[in-house]
A and B are shown apart, each in its own frame.
Chain A
């Protein structure tokens, strides 16, 4: 079946511009996560959504970052006034209900963001 789909796969933007990254999770998965992967930094948690509950935004690095999930499905991560340090691969993952013991995350291929 279809996996987690992210778009675009690559995005080059100028410093100061806003960008939107999209994630389409696996159908039926109620939990959705955004991570950032930078060289040597591993996976940095950004935000997750669980059903209709308020999202956990504790990982967002600044108020320039925001995310929403419409209708419990597709999610958009928005970065305003991009900076060069925002350059990274942004990964989206989905899973069955968070907290359900051992539910694995299914990752998309990521969006590689380059801020020039």
Chain B
């Protein structure tokens, strides 16, 4: 069965600091990988996804993530965070080409101090 681990429960940063949120998954086959974000009071929305091709994917609002197959990782990064990035971030995976559902990690809450 697939599973997703997010290493940090709560990350607190000051504005302009760099961000990296860890995500590891367990699945032996080919996967699709996603990061979703939930801003306070809003619904979950897609931040970025990896399907195939360039393992470095860029999403909205300056976020990017790198798929490292050998490490089963898909870490989320942003060079300089803003107060408006305060949100909860969820990594998710599903098995490519199967009828498998999308499995989410437990989420990382990011708090950015102005």
Contact = CB atoms under 8 A, between A and B. Distances in A.
Interface of A: 3, 33, 35, 40-43, 45, 48, 50, 53, 56, 58-59, 91, 93, 98-99, 101-102, 104-105, 107-110
Interface stretch (B13-21, B39-47, B62-70, B73-81): B39-47
Interface in B72-97: 90, 92, 96-97
B52 interface: yes
Contacts of A107: 43-45
Interface of B is mostly: loop
B97 A45 contact: no
B52 to A, nearest CB: 7
B106 A41 contact: yes
A3 B42 CA distance: 13
B96 A101 contact: yes
Given A56-B99, A107-B43, 17 more contacts: A33-B102, A40-B106, A41-B106, A43-B44, A43-B92, A45-B101, A50-B99, A56-B101, A91-B43, A98-B100, A99-B98, A101-B32, A102-B49, A104-B49, A105-B46, A107-B44, A108-B43
Nearest to A101: B51
25 contacts: A3-B43, A33-B101, A40-B106, A42-B6, A43-B90, A43-B92, A45-B101, A45-B102, A45-B104, A48-B101, A53-B99, A56-B99, A58-B101, A99-B98, A99-B99, A99-B100, A101-B52, A101-B97, A102-B34, A102-B49, A104-B46, A105-B44, A105-B46, A107-B43, A107-B44
B74 to A, nearest CB: 13
A42 B106 contact: yes
Contacts of A41: 106
Contact of B90 (A42, A59, A98, A102): A42
B39 to A, nearest CB: 12
A13 B34 CA distance: 35
